[in-house]
Amino acid sequence: MILLFGTSFSLAQNNVDGRVLFVLDGSNSMWGQIDGTAKITIAKEVMSDLITDWDEAVPVGLMVYGHRRKDDCRDIELVARPGAVDRDVLIDEIQSITPRGKTPITQSLINGALAIDSGSGKSSIVLVSDGLETCDADPCAAAFSFNVLNPGFDVHVIGFDVSEEESKALQCIADRSGGRFFAAGNADELKSALDETLAAAAVPATPPPAEPEPSLRLYAKFCDTCEKIDPPKVHWTIQDAESSTLYDGLGLLYPDGPQIAPGTYRVSARYQSSNLVREAELVIGQDGQQIGAVNLEGGSAVMFAYASDDETIAAEPIQYEFFPISDGVAANTLFASQASSNAAVWLPAGRYKVVATHDRVKESAEIEIFAGQETRHRFDMRVGYFQPSAVLADGGDPLGGNVDYEVYGSQADAEARANRIVFSLGAQNRELPLRAGDYFVRAIVTYQRKTQSVSRVFPFSIRGNQTTSPILNLQAGLLSHTVSSQSGKGISNIDYVRMSDDRRIAYYNRGGTNTLALEPGQYRLRVLSAGETYNTDPFEVDAGKTTTVDVAVP
């Protein structure tokens, strides 16, 4: 459905003198359909056409929310900071969006304002959303605070396939920021809305009528001696003595909103949409203003991981997971997570175990968060790659998907099959990422994905940014057999018995025909048919060769 963006539109011709940041809805509701086509598909096509024809003179950026994790209000990714456009990269990012999660509009706008540097004059956010905030915040209040701080910064909103109620809530964001609101119900209307939105972004927006000053500003701080935090950056829930909620929103209250009488209240204060939350008392004096400030007693963690010899390049993809430590023991329950490097994660003061995951490589560290301070930590995630192949004997053909590989940190673990690091089922032409170091691999032959019968342990080493590709000699042969029943009663089980110690090496219960690998030696088959057991004559299996056995039992 490429009806979307004409090539004649040029932002430079419309005199855009600031920057534009698109904030796209990647929440799960974008799977909803319009005329049989998913909304996310329509949006990606429209946006891809838009970027294809974007004027290089206009700085542009992209932010997406709700596209990586379910039920996570912190799932907000600044894909591209406003700047020179790299069309191919930006289009690839747009096309890779897969809706999954929630709709954190408020925090996305706050993050967007920080990314676009809203205090530097004319700039615009263009929000495309198909629904309302789902993360217990007030985007309308946040939008108003942007306009108060910088009238040259506006938020234009496109409501994509939204109800009347949703339109009103989304329009409030645009109205209060000095931007414009457009409703779009299909691909053509979305194209038209973007045309009009960008035209509006090209000229200074008309500021809305002056709003009254807040009647109450609520303040929090990170530590006893820290300065107060800007009220719009903290979300408050205020309850009375009966635990009834009097107010739930950002730290700016207006005369036409809830009024908080003098007194003491229980509050929950959350910094932005982070895990830095404190339950505390809020005291309102006789003048109707807050006495003091609520101490959040928290700080930030900024993690960085590199996976190449250039230690300035961040490892991607990356996932940081934070687990609080109590009495020296890390909790099993995840407390917070972050999917990018050099991004602040706000946490209550205390010790945490941080697990960094890059591809299949994990590293952990303990950090301490101090109130009002930033804690930084770097992870060395440099990896090499393991790409094994296996043969039955020297000079033989690779067994490909007939072999599974288990990687261990020591020979004892490999022999006991304990503390496995990674497992690859039928690996073929697949590189397994591993930290640099010495390892042991157990190669297991499952010929034709039927019978596991031969496994051997081999040492190997991994060096950073290198691929280790050993050829593992299993020193085994193949047995190919056909066993039939003269009475026609069928074969119910076959045991493979080694003659040297009369030990059953493996068994097969899916008929009388099979091919499997065996270590060199003398064997016999023990056949169960119609409740009777029969032993075949011994036969020899040689390394790198195939032994064929064709027998009939009574």
In tens, the pLDDT along 326-380 reads 999 999 999 998 888 998 999 999 999 999 998 778 899 999 999 999 999 999 9
Q: Give me the mean pLDDT over the 218-229 stretch.
A: 96
pLDDT, one tens digit per residue, over 189-199 is 888 888 787 77
Q: Would you state the pLDDT for residue 118?
A: 46
Q: Would you state the pLDDT for residue 433?
A: 84
pLDDT, one tens digit per residue, over 36-57 is 888 888 888 888 888 888 877 7
- Segments of the chain assigned to CATH 3.40.50.410: 12-201
Judged against a pLDDT cut of 90, whether residue 202 lies above it is answered with no
Are 138 and 173 within 8 A, CB to CB?
Answer: no
- Segments of the chain assigned to CATH 2.60.40.10: 384-473
Q: Would you state the pLDDT for residue 320?
A: 94
Are 104 and 72 within 8 A, CB to CB?
Answer: no
Judged against a pLDDT cut of 70, whether residue 290 lies above it is answered with yes
Indicate the fold that domain 216-295 takes in CATH.
Immunoglobulin-like (2.60.40)
Average pLDDT for the chain: 86
- The lowest-confidence range among 91-100, 136-145, 178-187 is 136-145
The letter for the amino acid at 445 is: V
The letter for the amino acid at 221 is: K
pLDDT, one tens digit per residue, over 528-543 is 998 999 999 999 999 9
Q: CATH says 298-381 is which class?
A: mainly beta
Q: Give me the mean pLDDT over the 287-294 stretch.
A: 95
Judged against a pLDDT cut of 60, whether residue 17 lies above it is answered with no
Judged against a pLDDT cut of 70, whether residue 251 lies above it is answered with yes
Q: Using 50, 70 and 90 to split pLDDT, how confident is the model at 119?
A: very low
φ, ψ dihedrals at 176, nearest 5°: -75, -20
Domain with residues 12-201, CATH architecture: 3-Layer(aba) Sandwich (3.40)
Distance between CA atoms of residues 21 and 109, nearest Å: 10
Distance between CA atoms of residues 369 and 351, nearest Å: 6
Indicate the fold that domain 477-553 takes in CATH.
Immunoglobulin-like (2.60.40)
- Segments of the chain assigned to CATH 2.60.40.1120: 298-381, 477-553
CA dihedral 500, 504, 506, 511 (to 10 degrees): 110
Domain with residues 384-473, CATH architecture: Sandwich (2.60)
Q: Using 50, 70 and 90 to split pLDDT, how confident is the model at 211?
A: low
Judged against a pLDDT cut of 70, whether residue 137 lies above it is answered with yes
* Residue 295: alpha-carbon gap to chain centroid: 32
